[in-house]
Structure 1
Amino acid sequence: MGLPVWFQVLGLVGTALTGAIASWKVIRDLIGQGRTSLRDEYRFAKEFFDAVGKPGLHPLAYDLGHKAIAGDAQIGAEEVAYLLSLPQPRAAIRTYIVARTLLQFHQTAVDSKISFKRSNGNPSRRRVKRGLFAVGYFATYMLGFSPIFLLLLDLLSGQMALGLFIVSAPTFFPTAFLCLRAATRIRRGEELLAMQSGRPAPGPLQLVR
């Protein structure tokens, strides 16, 4: 098998792997961890909320229980309790985990809310950023594969394309991933704020039991 054919195979495999990874992440976000894990989560959540409804629950158990519900030790108990009050609590928690670096949690005696940090507080600015990150993703993704594309168009020799791909892949693919992650975080944050807008009228912070 000649070198150009190997590059065609490499291009197809690389594209397939990229698509497979993206598809896996989407599927993971949509269906979670499977039926067995969901049953375990349900059992834990029910036992924990039953314990929260009774007096004498230790603050440590309260805090760790909420972190376990979220599956993230970096999220505070009150943040999780607030997310549980949203119309789609499971989706809200997953979305918050993805976008948390861009968001801030406010809690008062009357109500709580999540908002974007000041650097991303302007909707127009977020749209511009998201668009730039999307363009950056497609541009760097294409640049990473450009030696293969040029080879398939007979504009490069196999040896030159191989040498360029060895350089372009580690140079541009990590940047493409970072751009995609940044755009996704902004989008997830906006989705969470949309979920928040469907929350019932403000009131004392309470757990849904």
Structure 2
Amino acid sequence: METIVKLASVAAGIFTLAKVFFEITSIRRVGAREEYKFAKEFLSDVATGAIHPFAKEKGYLAISGDRGLKSSEVEYLLSLHEPEKALQFYVLGRAYLKHLPHQGNLQIDFAPKYQRKRSRTIRIYFYTFVYGTLVFTATTPLIFSRYISSNIGNILALFAILASTLFPIGILALREAIKIHRAGLLVRNQSRHTKAIIVGP
């Protein structure tokens, strides 16, 4: 009887998770369709020129989802190959980039401080090293538990303290490394333009 109750509980848990997953994916599909409809109508208006500058700026803001971006930045990013990815990479790595609106087809470059490849590479290695070191340090109570304590409660408590302190810092360090890497991908790949949108002067 106890086994049946446990199996029923597991089945109920799986069903609940499946239901939540289905609802989330359904919401995402609806959201994607709405985004597509808006983007299609907005970009069509931009292409024909039948749109007020205010509405144009608001449209680009709606597409980017970032009030810190100028409409000229979004417009240029949408002219690149794989525009959604280009926009995501730019938003993520913006601290390491600059927009040069009068530089023709190559308007995204590294900020002066990060122009040298060696400087960027050193930072990527440093942040990755910090991440690895912090994660390893946080997990040492589990890895070397036999040398620390025979009490599993003490081991888990120490791990919880270290993990809650070091994991967030490690994730921030890893995020910085990813920002620099994505910024580099955007700068290198921006020469691949699409003819879907023509960027004005």
Q: How does 1:103-114 map to 2 (within 5 A)?
A: 103-108=97-102, 110=104, 113-114=107-108
Aligned sequence identity (%):
31
TM-score, normalization by structure 2: 0.75
TM-score, normalization by structure 1: 0.73
Residues of 2 paired with 1:110 and 1:196: CA distance? 11
Q: Give the 3 Å change call, closer, same or farther, for CA 166–55 of structure 1 in structure 2.
A: closer
Give the RMSD, CA atoms, in angstroms. 2.4
Residue 112 of structure 1, CA deviation? 5.4
Q: Are 2:43 and 1:49 equivalent residues in the alignment? A: yes
The gaps in structure 1 that reach 5 residues or longer are 1-32
> 2:190: which partner in 1?
196
The 3-state SS of whatever aligns with 2:144 is helix
Residues of 2 paired with 1:36 and 1:96: CA distance? 26
> 1:156: which partner in 2?
148
Farther-moved stretch of structure 1 (109-118 vs 73-82):
109-118
Q: Give the 3 Å change call, closer, same or farther, for CA 50–197 of structure 1 in structure 2.
A: closer
> What are the superposed Cα offsets for residues 35-65 of structure 1, whole Å, 9 maximum, x if unpaired?
3222211110111122223445222211110
Give yes or no for contact 2:73–2:99 (8 Å, CA) kept in 1. yes
Q: How does 1:1-209 map to 2 (within 5 A)?
A: 34-55=28-49, 57-108=51-102, 110=104, 113-151=107-145, 154-157=146-149, 158=151, 160-199=154-193, 205-206=199-200
Residue 90 of structure 1, CA deviation? 1.1
> 2:17: which partner in 1?
none
Q: Displaced runs of 4+ in structure 1, greater than 4 A?
A: 109-112
The 3-state SS of whatever aligns with 1:185 is helix
The gaps in structure 2 that reach 5 residues or longer are 1-26
Residues of 2 paired with 1:109 and 1:174: CA distance? 39
Q: Greater relative contact order: 1 or 2 (C-alpha under 8 angstroms, separation 6 or more)? A: 1
Q: Which of the two has higher C-alpha Rg? A: 2
What one-letter code is carried by the residue in structure 2 that aligns with 1:171? T
